[in-house]
Amino acid sequence: ENTLNQLLTEMDGFATNTGVIILAATNRADILDIALLRAGRFDRQIHVELPDLEERKAIFKVHMEPLKINKTVNIDFLAKQTPGFSGADIANVCNESALIGARKNKKVIDKQDFMDAIDRIIGGLEKRNKIISQHEKKVIAYHEAGHASVSWLLEYANPLVKVTIVPRGKSLGAAWYLPEERQITTFDQMFDEMTAALGGRASEEINFGKVSTGALNDLEKVTKQAFAMVTYFGLNEVIGNISYYDSTGQQEYSFHKPYSEKTAETIDKEISKMVEKAYQRAKSLLLKNKSKLVILATLLLEKEVIFSEDLEKIFGKRPYDDKGSIEPVKTEKKLTKKTKKSSPKTNDQPDKKTVEKESKSQVPEKEQTDTLF
């Protein structure tokens, strides 16, 4: 309290100071004392978002300038690989890539060094000495192959960059995607993302006749997304064009929901129906392409890391790159603000962030990876 009063006195006291501009920065403007935000004080607020694609390119250029870089390194490619990265994250990528190159006694930093640096920052250190049974490794491979296959076959799912079953951090497998940075999103786009997220669990059921606990992160993700679609974005025909989103943030402190018990039951049913529909859709796609799924999983077991080029050899060119013929979900399209995730999630440490309608598309989630177990 004394600090606040002194700050206000210095800013707006009896002393007359001219030509002085006071700047301050915070990442929690919502908890600032209202007295600080009154007219004549900090009344002009500038929101600084995480850098977009073009801004990331410019930041990469700055940090790569003092480094000896191989000519094969493409800044545009690196910028696309790092959605949601801050300037500090990008600086860290450049530093890590230099260290990785130095450990390998290289005279210049190449593309793979940058990719390894991004993987390390996103997923943590490789743990090749982690003891995993052959059966578990097979389950992980089919799980990740399921994600990759469904994503490849859906129009709005993020295109795959690579899939790995090499343990990193707390995850035993991961798939990296190249997200499209959207500002608004339709039902079909969100539903395709849900379907792709459930592709791993669907693959386990199809190939082993049972599912494992490895899909915790996927289930958490689709449940939150379905909840947001039903209660926030008005993307459910039964609930209708109603949003229970509270932009003031006061609802979390309330003991009462902004809807009745009957509506709460309806919301639960609609969320369950939506998730189940996405799951059955994922199963249907994988059953139609089961032979290709098996080839992909076998290749993943053999190589441990596969890239989009490997999927193209197995599945052919991605259908929707040329607007193929897979029928989209038949439902009314509505535009919404897009929400997103941030750091990689694992079963041991699920992401606790709630869906925020006003957040920038695909940004809170540093990377587009699905982690297993």
Residues tagged active-site: 144
- How many C-beta atoms lie closer than 10 Å to residue 135's C-beta? 9
Residue 252's nearest CA partner among 241, 244, 263 is: 244
Can you read off the two tokens belonging to residue 7?
A: 């700050």
Instruction: Return d(Cα 287, Cα 158) in angstroms, integer.
Output: 21
Provide the terminal-to-terminal Cα distance of the chain, rounded to the nearest Å: 46
- Contacts of 351 by beta carbon, 8 Å cutoff, 6+ apart: 217, 220, 341, 342, 343, 345
**What are the DSSP E strand ranges found in the chain?**
160-164, 174-177, 184-185, 305-307, 336-337, 369-371
Percentages helix, strand, coil for the chain (3-state, rounded to 5) are 50, 5, 45
DSSP 106: -
- How many C-beta atoms lie closer than 10 Å to residue 150's C-beta? 27
- DSSP conformation letters of 117-168: HHHHHHH--B-TTS---HHHHHHHHHHHHHHHHHHHH-SSSPPEEEEE-S-B
Residue 366 has φ and ψ, to the nearest 5°, of: -50, -35
